[in-house]
Each structure stands twice: as structure tokens, then as C-alpha cells.
Amino acid sequence: MGTVASLFVVLFAGVAVFTAHQNRFEGYNFGYEAYVQNNPAVLARFCGFMAALFIAAASAYQPYDSVLATMTNIVMVITFALVALVASQYVNDHLILRNVRNTDEVVGKRNLAVAIVEMSTYLATALIFAGGTHDASHGFWFNALWFIIGQAFMIGAVQLFATLALAPGGIGAPVFYKKIEGGNAACAVSLAGFVLSGGIVIGSMLSKQPTTFGEDLKWIALALVGWLVLMALTRMAVMAITWFTSLRLAWFPDELGKDNNWAAGLFDGVMFVAITAAFISVVG
């Protein structure tokens, strides 16, 4: 019964906070836009938020705790998770897609490309959060510090990705973000896969037993550099596969940027996630 009650606490808390935040700070009525106006981008944003909240809350669940202990853990983690997820929307709006007016695109223009990137940001944030809270020995300040470091790394990694994603024909983050602002789902899905992969690798690193801050920083930094190199090699492999299987008729960056081939973006994003999962299993 404790587990079932916890699920409903997460559900109703997430809905209440999301709708209140969107109504008050983002300037639109969530229910009206989602269900009366049938706006799929608004619902995608909501789905990403709720899925992320459940991922974050799951890290607090201990099956051998009493009902009271489980509920206490869940309520505490939900509170911090909600703060982290709301903060991640501001990070996405002002630091990741800083050249894009996210809410105008999602609500006014029904831009699913922007909503897809938002979904991935929510999920990556939840994975980073869950990684920090997975080990009971991690204290509040440990989690807070590494959460900030993880978010900072993701911002930098995304800017690097956006700068080079359409190279050599479209080098520069503004070029890439302009595609997403224009509703390019291929670029959005590719970026979403990369962001989600970043959340997976950072969350996995944070779930380890801590030692000293210096040793933790050194180990995580080396792992993240290795992951970035692996992601670059993954993109090169995707480009080579596309080039040769199309009988040298398709150039992968053009499939994303010019042709808006969402299936190509999905291939790219799935490969990022799959190779990251393999990387995590190897580095332990």
C-alpha cells in the first residue's frame, strides 16, 4: 500500500506543480492548451516533466522501509526533484535554447521540435538527480554540488554538439538552433538523444560510492572526456553508415539540416543512447 500511495503522491504533486508553474510563470493555461486546443507540443512538455519526476522519485524508494519511512523519503525527494525540474526548464530556456523563445514556440506555434528538446532536458536532469540520490551515503551538499556540476557540463556539451552537429556545411550553434526553432524534428531528435545520453552517463558516475571530492572530480572528468570522444566517434560512424548504405548519395548533416529527415535524427539519437549504455557497462 505504501508503494501505491507513493505513486499517487508523485502523480498529483507533479500535476499540481507543473500546471501552477505554467499558468503563473509561463503565461498559459495548461489544460486549455493541451486538451481544448489539442496542442501536442504542450502535452509533450508535460509528459517529459512527469516521466522525469517519476524517475527522480524512484531513487528514494527503499522496498524494506516502513510505509512511513518510504513516504517520508518520497516527499523529501519529490520536493527537491520538483525544484530541480523547474530549474531545468529555465536552464533549457535561457542557456541551452537561449536563442529560442521556448514557450512561444511550444504554445503559440505548436513546435514539437522544441518540446522534444525540453523532454530530453527534463529526463537528463532526472537521471542526474537520481544518480546523486541513489546512494544513501550521499548527503544534501554532495548532491547539490554534483547536480550543479553535472548541469554545467551538460550545458557546455550541448553547445559543443550544436556547434558541430551540421558541420561542415552549417558550423555554429545559432545555425543548429535556428533549425529547431523552425520545427526541424530531425535536429531535435538527434540533440535529444545526445542530451539523454549525457544524463545517463553523469547519473551513472554520481551513483558510485564517494571518496574525496578531488578523486571524484578526477574520475568523473576522465569518464566524461572519454564519453565525449566516444560520442564524436559515434557520429562519425553514423555518417559513414549513411554515406555507404545510400550508395554515396546521402550526406548525413544534410539529412538533418536540409531534408529534416526525422528517421535519420532518430538513428543518430538512438545510437548515442545505445553506445552510452554500453560505455556505462564497461566503465562500471
Residue 2's Cβ-side half-sphere holds a number of Cα atoms within 13 Å equal to 16
Grid cell, residue 94, equals 535561457
Select from 36, 176, 33 the least CA-distant residue to 97. 176
Give the distance from CA 155 to its chain's centroid: 11
| Per-residue pLDDT at 3 | 65
Contacts 24+ apart (CB under 8 A), 76-83: 77/133, 78/9, 78/10, 78/13, 78/53, 80/129, 80/143, 81/52, 81/53, 81/56, 81/57, 81/126, 81/129, 82/13, 82/14, 82/17, 82/53
| Per-residue pLDDT at 66 | 46
CB atoms within 10 A of CB 206: 26
Q: What is the pLDDT of residues 3-32, one digit of tens each?
A: 677 778 788 989 999 999 999 999 999 999
Q: How many Å apart are CA 255 and CA 269, to the nearest integer?
A: 14
Residue 121 near residue 91 (C-beta atoms within 8 A): yes
| Per-residue pLDDT at 233 | 97
Residue carrying C-alpha cell 542557456: 95
Residue 186 near residue 270 (C-beta atoms within 8 A): no
Report, as ranges of residue numbers, the positions in the chain whose pLDDT lies below 70: 1-3, 60-74, 134-139, 209-210, 284
CB atoms within 10 A of CB 262: 21
